[in-house]
Structure 1
Amino acid sequence: MSGGMILRGLEVEQVRRFGDAVRLAGLGPGINLLGAPNEFGKSTLLAALRAVFLLPHGSKARPVAELQPYGGRGAPRVAVDFTLDGCDWRLEKRFMQRAFVRLEGGGERLDGDAAEARLHDLLGVEGGKRGAEAMGLLNALWVGQGHSLVQPDFSDPARATIRSCLEADLDAMTGGDAAGRVLSRVAADLAVLLDGRGNPRGRYRAAKEGEQEAAAELARLEARRQALEDDLNAMADLRRRLAHEDDADRREKERADLAEAGRVRDRLRDHDARYRAARAVRDHAAAQLAAVRQDLAGRTAWERDLAAGVARVAELEGALLTAQGAQDAAGAAHAARLEAVRVADAARQAARGALDRAAGRVERARLVHERGEAAAALDRLDRAAQAVTRASAELAACTIDDARMGAIRKAERALDAARAASRAQATTLDIALADGGRGRLVLDGAALESGRVVVTDNAVLRIEGIGTICIEPASHGRDTLRAALAGAEEALRRALAAVGCADIAGAEAALAARRQAELAAQAAQTVLGGLLAATGQSPVTAMDVARRRLADLDVRLGRIGAADGEDIAGDPVAVLDAAREAMQVAEERYGAAHQALLAPDETMRRAAEDLARLRAEWQVARDGAAQLARDLEAARAVEADEALSARLAAAHAGAEAAELALLRIEETRPEGTEALADAAIQRLERTIQEGHARLAALRQEMAAREARIRAAEGDGLDERIAAQERLRAAHAAEDAACAREVAILQCLRDAVAAAERAATERYLAPLARAIQPALSALFPRAVATVEPDFSISALSRRIDEPFVNLSDGTREQIAVLARLGLADLMRARGRPAMLVLDDALTYADSGRLDRMFDILTEAAGRLQIVILTCRTELFTGLGARRLAVEAVGDATAEGH
C-alpha cells in the first residue's frame, strides 16, 4: 500500500456530543468498519476528520462553529495519527478558544501557519477562502451521510489534481500557446459584443434594443390603425343593430304578447277558483250521503239486536230456576264437613306457633354470626384506611421529588461543563516515566504517574535530582472560568441544601426513599381500593355504612331477644327440625280434612257460580233489550223511517249533481298552467327591459367609437408608421452585422474547443481505465461514459442509459465505484488517497451488496477504506476490521 495514506488514530474532545476526550481505536490498513446505532456520533467523527485535515485552525466559520459541544460553548480539539508514504505523522488542532495547530513527523515539528502550509503540501490541497475547507481531491473521497447517491462535485484544485495524474500533454494536443492566443483574442472580441452570460452588449445590444423599440412602436401604431379600421367596421354593425333594436313594430308586438300572457294567466286563475269551489260542493254532498247511509245502517242494526236480546232473556229465565235447585243441595252437604276442617285448622295453628318460635332462635344465631362478619369487615377497612394515612404522611415527609432531582442533575451537568471549560484552558502535560523514575516527579507535593495531567492554575513541578519547574497556564479568561466554576458549585450546593442532602448520592438515596414511600402508599391504596371495589364508595362512606350495618344487626338481635323470652335447652336447629316435623303432621291432618271437604265444596262453588253468572247474564240481557227499545223509539221520534229514506234519496241525488258539475268545469280547463303563464310573463317583461338596455348601450358605444374615429383620422398614422419601418430596418441591418460577427467568432472558438474536446477524450482514457475494472465486476459488459468534468454521464449496457435515469441503488454504486477509480488513479501517481463512506450502500440488494463487498475487499489491498454505518448486520460478510470509540484515559489534576 505504498503511496497510500493510512489513518491510524482519531481523537476528539469538546466536539458536539463528545464532551470528554474519546479515541477511534483499531484503525489500520484495508477495510475498517465502525458499526453503531443512530445518534452515536459517526457523522461527528467524519466531520472532525474533515476539520483537522481541511479546516484552518483559526477559522470561526459555520463548519467550525458547528463542531462546538451541544448545550454550551467550548474549544473543539481534534488529533489524528496517520502514515503517508511510509512516514508517521501526528496532527493536532484546537478551534475557537486558544486555537492552535501542531504537525509532527519526519523529523519536523511545525506550529501555526507553517504547519497548515506543510499539511496542504503533504495532502496536495489548496487553502480555502475565508476559513472554508481546503480544496482538493480528498474532499471528494470522504463521503458524508446522504452524499453517496451523487457523484463528487470537484473543485478547481481537485480537477487540477486529476489532470496532473493523467498521462497526457493537453497543450501539445491543442496547439499549445498559439491555440491559447487564438482563444484569448476570440474571447476578447466576443466580450465586446457579448457579456459573460452570452447576452448582447455594446453596439450589438443597442442595435437589438433599437430594433425592438422601433418594432414595439410600429406594433403600437399598427394596432392603432387596426383599431381605427375595427371602429369603422363596428360602426356599420352598430347602425344595423340599432335599427333592429329601435323597430317600433317589434316593440308593439312584444307589448301585445305580454298583454296576452296576462290574460291567459287570469283565465287560468279564474278556472282554478271555480274548480276548487265545485270540488268543495262535491265533497260536501258526498259527506252528507255517507252520514245518511250510516244513520240508516245504525237503525237496522238496532232492530236486529233488539229481537236477539228478547229471545236471550227468555232462555236465561229457565236456566236460573235449574241453577237455584243445584245450589240448595250443595249447601246441605257442605255444612256437615265444615266443622272437621275447623278442628284440624286449630291444631295446625298451634304447630305454626311452635315452628315460628324455633325459627326465631335459628334467626338469632344467624344474626349473631352475621354481626361477627360485619365487625371483622369494619376492622379490616379501618386498618386499611389507617395504613393509607400512615403511607401518605411518610410520602409528605419526603423533601425531594423528580423536579428537584432534575434541578440537582442540571446543576451537576452545569458544573461538569464548567470543569470541562476550565480544562480546555488548562496546560496539558503528557508524562512518560522511564524505568526507575516513579516518584521522582512531584507536582505541588503529589507524585505523578505516567499519563496526562491537566494543570488549570499556577503549579510547581519538582524533578528529583534536577530542580523545579514553575508552570503558569495561559491566563486568558481564567478568572471568568473560575467564577463560572465557583458559581456552578454554589448552584449545586444550594440545590442539594434545598432537599436537605449533602451530596448527589444522598439526593439519589432520598429520591429512592420517596419512590419506596410512593410504592407503599400505592400498595395501601390498592388494598383499600380492593375493599371498596365492590361498593364503589369512599372510605368514609364505606366505614359509615359498615357501622350502620353493625348497629342494625344489634337492634335486630335485641328485638328477637325481647320477643323470645323462652329458654329452651338443646340445639336450636334440632328444635327447629322437630317443630317442622310437627307442623308437617298438622298440615297433613288439615289437608285430609280439607280434602274431604273439597268435593262437596267444589260442587257448591260451581252451583253458586253458575247461578250468579246466569243472574248477571239475565240482568245484562234484559237491560240491553230495554235500552235498545228506548234508543230505537227515540230515533224514530226524531226522524221516522219514511223521512230517513227520503233524506237518503235526496243526498244521493245531490252528490250526483255535484260530481256532474265538477266534470263540466274540468272539461272547460284552458291550455297550459298558471306557472307556465307566469314564466312567459317574466320572460316577456325581461325581454322588453333588456331591449331598452341594449338600445341605450348601443347608442353610448356608437358615440364613443365616433369620438375615437375623429381623433385617429387627424393623427397621421400612415406617415408615422412609414418612419418607424425605416428606423427598424436600420437597426435590423446593424443587428445582422453584429450577429454575423458573433457567429464567425463562435465558429472559430468552437473549432478550437472541438480540438480540445477530442484531446480531452484521449487524455480521459486513463481515468476511464481506472474505473472500468470495478464497474465490470458489478455490471458485466457495461461501459461508463466519462465527461470532461470527470463525471460519469451514462452507463452503456445493451443501450445507453443516462446516469440521472438509473435507480437510486445503481447511481449510489456507480458513485462509489467512481471514487474508487479516482483513489486508484491518485495512488498510482503517488498522491495520498483513502476512502471514507458514511452510511453508504443503503440501497443495494443482497446480490449487488456481495459484489460490492468483493470490489471493496480487492481495493483494500491498495488503499485504506473506512466505513461508518448504523446497519452493522448488513456488513457482517465484509470481513472488515472492527473499530471502537473508547474514552481516553488521562490523569486530571483539578485545581492546577
Structure 2
Amino acid sequence: MILRGLEVEQVRRFGDAVRLTGLGPGINLLGAPNEFGKSTLLAALRAVFLLPHGSKARPIADLQPYGGRGAPRIAVDFTLDGGDWRLEKRFMQRAFARLEGGGERLDGDAAEARLQDLLGVEAGKRGAEAMGLLNALWVTQGQSLVQPDLSDPARATIRSCLEADLDAMTGGDAAGRVLARVTADLAVLLDGRGNPRGRFRAAKEGEQEAAAELARLETRRQGLEDDLNAMADLRRRLAHEDDADRREKERAGLAEAGRVRDRLRDYDARHRAARAVRDHAAAQLAAVRQDLAGRAAWERDLAAGTARVAELEGALQAAQGAHDAAGAAHAARLEAVRMADAGRQAARRALDLAAGRVERARLVRERREAAAALDRLDEAARAVTQAAAELDACTIDDARLGAIRKAERALDAARAASRAQATTLDVTLADGARGRLVLDGQALESGRIVVTDNAVLRIEGIGTIRIEPASHGRDALRAELAGAEEVLRRALAAAGCADTPAAEAALAVRRQAELAFQAARTVLGGLLAGADQVPATAMEAARRRLADLDVRIARIGEAGDGTDDPLAMLEAARQAMDVAEARYDAAHRALLSPDETMRRAAEDLARLRAEWQVARDGATQLARDLEAARAVEADEALSARLAAGHEAAERAEQALVRIEETRPEGTEALADAAIQRLERTIQEGHARLAALRQEMAAREARIRAAEGDGLDERIAAQERLRAAHAAEDAACAREVAILQCLRDAVAAAERAATERYLAPLARAIQPALAALFPRAVATVEPDFSISALSRRIDEPFATLSDGTREQIAVLARLGLADLMQARGRPAMLVLDDALTYADSGRLDRMFDILTEAAGRLQILILTCRTELFTGLGARRLAVEPVGEQNQPAG
C-alpha cells in the first residue's frame, strides 16, 4: 500500500484546501515546527480510511475548523495491489463518500464497504473507527512508548497471516479432556492456592499434632533427666557452701582487715600532726628572713636617695641659667613679628580688590549663559506645542486598527463558511474547447470550480445549465457575510480610512507624529531643572536668575578703571600676598624658636625642683623608718631569731621523717574495700546456701511427679500415631506429584505448540531487534505482545527505560507490518513524533532498520525535530495550498 497524496479542507487549522505533496515509496518525512498541523494530517488520514462518512461522533466533531463550524473534506490518493485508487469523504454537513479505482466508482455505504474489504478491517460500533491492524500501525503522538493495543479483528488478521491451527497442534479435544480430569483430581487434594485440602490436609495436620505432642513429651522427659543431673550438682555445691572451716577463715579474714584499717587510721593522725608542726616552723623562719631582707633594702634605698639629692641640686642651678637667657632672646623677636604682620595686612587688601574684579567678570559671563538657556527653553516649548497639535490631528490609533482587523477576520470567517456550502465543479476541457464553457459570463479553464450562489453555465453550441447550490442555511450565511462587511465598513469610516492598507498607513503616520512629540518632550525635559517642572515655571525661574545676576553685578560696581586684565591683577596680588605671608611665617618661626627654648627651660627647671623635693623627702622618711625598726628590735636580736628558726625547722622535719618510716602497708581505702568484700562474701554465702536448699526441694518434687506419670509409654503411643499420619501424607503427596507431572506435560506440549504458532511473528521481529540489540531475543506472548527482552538476563518490558520501550514498540509494529506484507495484506507504517528518547547511536541504528524496511513498505514520519532526522535520507514532504482554479467561485 503506497499513499500518493492527501488533501484536506475545513479540517481544524486548515480552513482552505491544502495538499500533502511529495509522497512516494520508501521513507517519507514531514518536518515542521509545533502547531503546524502534523497531528491534524494524521487524524485526517485515520478519519478518511477508518471513520464512516455519516458519523458525527467525537472524533469527527474534533476535525471541524477552529470555531466549531464547517464541513471537513478529506481526499486521499493511494496505490494498492498495483492499482490506483482515489478516496474522498466529506463529514458533518452534506456528508458523502466516493471511491474511484480499478475501473469502478462507488458512493456512500457501497464505497465504505468496498474500502473495508480492500484494507481488511471491520466496521466499528456506532460510528467509531474501523477495527483492524492498520490502527496499530498508524502511531499517533505520545503512543510510541507503548506496544500496539490490538483489537479482536486485528488479532484475527494476525492469526490468519500465521496460517496455523492451535487446536491441531495441542491435540484438540482429547488434550482438553485430560487436562480437565487432572484439574478435577487435583482439586480434591489441593485448593485454589495450591495448599492441601480434604484427607491430604487431615493427614498433614494429624502428623503435625502428633509431632507436637511427641515433642512436648520428649521435652518433659528431657526435663526429668536434667533435674536428676542437676540434683547431683546441687548436692556438691551444698556441701561446698556448708563447709564450717571455710566460714571460720572468712570471719578471721574480716577481723584482720579491721585491724589493718585501725593501724592505717592511727598513722594518718600522727603524720598530719607532724606535718603541721613542720609547716609552722617553716613559716616562722620565712618571717624572720623577710624582716632581714626589708631592713637591708631600707639601707640601700637611703644611700641611693642621698646621692640623688646631691645630683639634682647641681642640675637645678644649670636649668635656672638657661631659663634667664631664653627670656632675653624672646623679647628681641617680638618686634620683628609685628612689622611682618603689618605688611601682610596691606597685601591682603590688594588681593581682595583684585578678587572683586575677577568675580564681576564671572558674573557677567554667567548672565550671558543664563540668557542663552532661556532662549533655548522657549524654543523647545514651542516645538512641543507644535508636535502635540500634529498628533491631535491624527484620527486613528491601535484600538481602532484592532477593531478593523477583527472585523476583517470575521469577514474572512463568514466567507469561509459560505464556501463550505458551495457546489464543486470538476472541469476537464477537450482540445480546442477553451472558451466554449462560460459561467456567469466568465470563460472556464480546466480544474475545480466552487459555486456559492445561483449561476448559469453556458456551453457554446449546446445550451445553458442553471446551477443552484444547496439552500440549507444560505440566507443566514449571506446575512452573516453582509453584516461582517457592514461592521468592517463602519470601522473604516470611524477611522477615516478607505480600506485596511490606508488604515495601516494612517497608523504609521500617527506613530511618526508620536515619535516627534516624544523627541520634543525629551529635549524639553533635558532643559527643565526637575522632572515635575513645567516650562512656564522654568522660564520664570530663568528670568529671576537674570535679575539676580544683574543685582550682584551692580553691587560689585566697576572695581577699577577696567583697562587692566582682572586675572593678571589677581595673580600679581596673590604673588605679593605669598611674599608677605612668607615674611610673616619666617618672623613667626623666629619668634617660636626662642619661645620653645624658654618653655623647655622653664619645664626643666620646674621638673628638677619637684624631683629634688621628692628625693629629699624620701631620704628623710627612710632614715626615720630605719631608726624606728632598730628601736623595736636591734640587729643582733634579729640575727639570733633567725638562728633559732633554722633549728626549729630542722627538728620538725626530722620528726616527720621518723613517722613516715613507720607507715603500714596499703591504704585506708583498700582496707575499707577488703572489709566490704569479705562482709558481702559472707552474706552471699548464706543466701546461696538457702537458695540451694530451696532449689533441691523443688527438683525433688518434680522428679517424684514425673516418675509417676508414665512418660515412656505415652511417647511410644504418639510415635505410632505420627507414623500412621506420615504414611497417609506421603501417599497423598505421591498422588499430587503424579497429577502435577501429567498437567505439566500437557501444558508443556501446549506451550511448545504456542511457540511454534508464534514463531512466524517472532521471526518477523527478530532481524530488526537483533540489529538494534545484538544477541537479544524477544519473548512474544499469545496475545502478540512482547513481554520481555532476553540479553544476558531476562528483563521485563515494563522495567526497561523509556527509550528502549519506545524502540521495541516501533520494532514490534515493523514486524507486524512485514508479516502483513509477506501475506499480501495492505500495510503502511506512520510514526508521529516518535524516537524522541533515542540516543545518537541507537537513532542511527533505527535509521538503518527503517531504511531496510522501506524497501518492502511505505513509511511516513511526522516530526518537529527535523534536525535529528537529517541522516535518515528520507523523501521530504510539503504542505501546499491547492491552486487558484480550485478556490470557490463567486
* TM-score normalized with structure 1 length: 0.62
Q: Is the 8 A contact 2:4 2:78 kept in 1?
A: yes
Q: Is the 8 A contact 1:425 1:474 kept in 2?
A: yes
Per the alignment, residue 843 of structure 2 pairs with: 849
Match of 2:557, SS state, is helix
Is residue 2:164 matched to residue 1:161?
Answer: no
8 Å contact from structure 2 (residues 72, 91) kept in 1:
yes
Cα pair 1:69 1:76 within 8 Å, conserved: yes
Q: Structure 2 matches for 1:426-575, cutoff 5 A?
A: 426-531=422-527, 538-540=533-535, 543-561=539-557, 564=559, 566-575=560-569
Alignment of 1:39-438 (within 5 A): 39-170=35-166, 172-173=168-169, 355-438=351-434
- In the alignment, structure 1 residue 870 sits paired with structure 2 residue 864: yes
Instruction: Write the distance in 1 (CA, Å) between the matches of 2:177 and 2:808.
Output: 39
Q: By how many angstroms is 1:892 displaced?
A: 6.7
Instruction: Provide the rounded CA distance (Å) in 2 between the counterparts of 1:44 and 1:596.
Output: 106
- Residue 533 of structure 2 aligns with an amino acid whose one-letter code is S
| Equivalence map 1:618-633=2 (5 Å) | none
Deviation of residue 559 (structure 1)? 1.8
Query: Which residue is 1:626 aligned to?
Result: none
Contact 2:175–2:746 (CA under 8 A) maintained in structure 1: no
Partner residue of 2:768 out of 765, 768, 774: 774
- The 2-side partners of 1:545 and 1:611 are apart by 66
Alignment of 1:825 with 2:819, yes or no, is: yes
Given the alignment of the two structures, is residue 765 of structure 1 paired with residue 759 of structure 2, yes or no? yes
Q: What does residue 886 of structure 1 align with?
A: 880
Tell me what 2:787 maps to. 793
1:100 aligned partner, one-letter code: F
Letter of the 2:780 counterpart? V
Q: Separation in 2 of the partners of 1:577 and 1:59?
A: 107
Q: Distance in 1 between matches of 2:369 and 2:534?
A: 18
State the Cα distance separating 1:436 from its structure 2 match. 3.4
Corresponding letter in the other structure for 1:820: L
Are the counterparts in 1 of residues 789 and 795 from structure 2 also a CA contact under 8 Å? yes
Distance change >3 Å, CA 832–CA 602, structure 1 → 2: closer
For residues 176 and 325 of structure 2, the distance between their equivalents in structure 1, rounded to whole angstroms, comes to 156
Match of 2:248 in 1: none
Distance in 1 between residues matched to 2:823 and 2:355, nearest whole Å: 118
Structure 1 134/610 Cα, relative in aligned 2: closer, same or farther at 3 Å? same
Q: Distance in 2 between matches of 1:397 and 1:846?
A: 63
2:7 pairs with 1:11: yes
CA contact (8 A) 1:341 1:597 kept: no
2:30 maps to 1:34: yes
Match of 1:838 among 832, 836, 840: 832
The superposition leaves residues 688-732 of structure 1 with CA deviations (integer Å, 9 ceiling, x where unpaired) of xxxxxxxxxxxxxxxxxxxxxxxxxxxxxxxxxxxxxxxxxxxxx
> Amino acid of the residue matched to residue 773 of structure 1?
P
> Quick one: distance in 1 between partners of 2:19 and 2:424?
17
1:116 maps to a residue whose letter is: E
CA distance in 2, matches of 1:485, 1:143: 41
State the Cα distance separating 1:179 from its structure 2 match. Answer: 7.9
Q: Deviations over 1:729-757 (max 9, x none)?
A: xxxxxxxxxxxxxxxxxx99999998776
Q: Is the 8 A contact 1:362 1:576 kept in 2?
A: yes
Classify 1:493/1:607 alpha carbon distance in 2 versus 1 (closer, same or farther; 3 Å): same
Secondary structure in 1 matching 2:406: helix
Shift of 1:352: 5.3
The partner residue of 2:798 within 796, 799, 804 is 804
| Per-residue deviation, 1:555 | 1.9
1:530-679 matches, cutoff 5 A: 530-531=526-527, 538-540=533-535, 543-561=539-557, 564=559, 566-577=560-571, 591=584
Inter-CA distance 452–544: structure 2 relative to 1 (3 Å threshold): farther
Shifted more, 601-610 versus 52-61: the winner is 601-610
Cα distance, 1:358–1:93 mapped onto 2, change above 3 Å: same
Task: Determine if contact 2:54/2:91 at 8 Å carries over to the other structure.
Answer: yes
CA radius of gyration, larger in: 2
Whole-angstrom distance in 2 between the partners of 1:787 and 1:333:
130
Residue identity matched to 1:855? I
Greater alpha carbon shift after TM alignment, 102-111 vs 52-61: 102-111
Q: What's the CA shift for 1:460?
A: 1.0
How far apart are the structure 1 equivalents of 2:814 and 2:586?
A: 118
CA positional deviation for 1:85: 0.9
8 Å CA contact retained: 1:179, 1:752: no
1:387 is displaced (CA, Å) by: 3.8
Query: In 1, Cα distance between the equivalents of 2:466 and 2:458?
Result: 9
- In structure 2, relative to structure 1, the CA distance for the partners of 1:372 and 1:323 (3 Å cut) is same
* Amino acid in the other structure paired with 2:860: V
Q: Distance in 1 between matches of 2:383 and 2:4?
A: 65
Residue 110 of structure 1 and its aligned partner are, at CA, apart by: 1.5
Q: Structure 1 residue 476: deviation in Å?
A: 0.6
Distance 1:586 1:785 in 2: 115
The CA distance in 1 between the partners of 2:825 and 2:331, in whole Å, is 144
Q: CA deviation at 1:132?
A: 0.6
Offset, 1:389 = 4.3
CA distance in 2, matches of 1:364, 1:381: 26
SS in 2 for 1:764: helix
CA separation of 1:428/1:124 partners in 2, compared to 1, >3 Å: closer, same or farther?
A: same
Give the match's secondary structure for 1:157. Answer: helix
Task: Provide TM-score, normalisation by structure 2.
Answer: 0.63
Superposed displacement of residue 15, structure 1: 1.1
Q: Once the 2 structures are TM-superposed, how far is the Cα of residue 407 of structure 1 from its aligned partner?
A: 2.6
Give the letter aligned to residue 769 of structure 1.
Answer: R
Measure the CA separation in 2 of the matches of 1:432 and 1:371: 92
| Deviation of 1:466 (Å) | 2.6
C-alpha deviation, 1:440, in angstroms:
2.6
CA distance in structure 1 between the aligned counterparts of 2:2 and 2:424, rounded to whole angstroms? 27
Q: Give me the whole-angstrom Cα distance separating, in 1, the residues matched to 2:175 and 2:52.
A: 36
Quick check: 1:334–1:601 contact (8 Å CA) kept in 2? no
Q: CA deviation at 1:513?
A: 2.5
Structure 1: unaligned runs, 5 residues or longer: 191-197, 199-317, 616-746
Alpha-carbon offset, residue 883 of structure 1: 0.6
* Aligned-pair CA distance for 1:347: 7.3
Deviation, structure 1 residue 823: 1.1
1:36-74: CA deviation from partner (whole Å, max 9, x where unpaired): 111111111100100111111111111111111223422
Count of residues paired in the alignment? 633
